[in-house]
Amino acid sequence: PVVFCLEKLAWGAVALSLMLIGMRLSQLKSWRKLPEAGSSVFIKMLLVPMILGSTLSFFGVTGNAAQVIVLQMGMPPALATLVIAETFDLDRDLAVTALAMGMIVLLFTLPVWLWLF
């Protein structure tokens, strides 16, 4: 019963986070935070996985393990980013712009990382 309750609670939190993202995206009046979000997404989803992926072989990590590590590094900003921005009254527009941009960039970078590594 405890596992069942925790599972339902976790799925509820995911659903509420997705609703929060939708609400914040609908409240965006402009994409003025795009350059700032672009630079952070570039670092997180392109630069870090490229550097990490090219140096993993020096540490003896190859094959599927290297792919998993590179894919973890190349994931877009998490849903928790927006929740934390909401909780601590940070820049919500920047958080939701980076999150949306990261999801779009993932469509193009995911096949590239799988192909390269």
Each residue's pLDDT tens digit, 31-69: 889 999 999 999 999 999 999 999 999 999 999 999 999
Q: pLDDT (tens digit, 9 = 90+) per residue, 60-98?
A: 999 999 999 999 999 988 888 888 998 899 998 999 999
Q: For residue 25, what pLDDT is reported? A: 85
Q: What band does 24 get if pLDDT is binned at 50, 70 and 90?
A: confident
Structure-model confidence comparison of residues 117 and 108, the more confident one: 108
CA-closest candidate to residue 70, choices 47, 45, 57, 53: 53
Q: Name the residue range of residue 41's domain.
A: 2-116
The whole-angstrom separation of Cα 14 and Cα 4 is: 16
- 30: pLDDT confidence band, cut at 50, 70 and 90? confident
Which pLDDT score, from 0 to 100, does residue 28 have?
85
The pTM assigned to this predicted structure is 0.78
**Per-residue model confidence (pLDDT) at position 17:** 84
Taking the C-alpha atoms of residue 42 and residue 1, their distance in angstroms, rounded to an integer, is: 43
Contact criterion met (CB below 8 Å) for 80 and 72: no
CA-wise closest residue to 54 among 105, 116, 106, 115: 116
Give the max Cα distance, the chain: 48
Amino acid occupying residue 14: V
Domain count, the chain: 1
Cβ distance 72 to 66 under 8 Å? Answer: no
66, 117 Cβ separation under 8 angstroms: yes
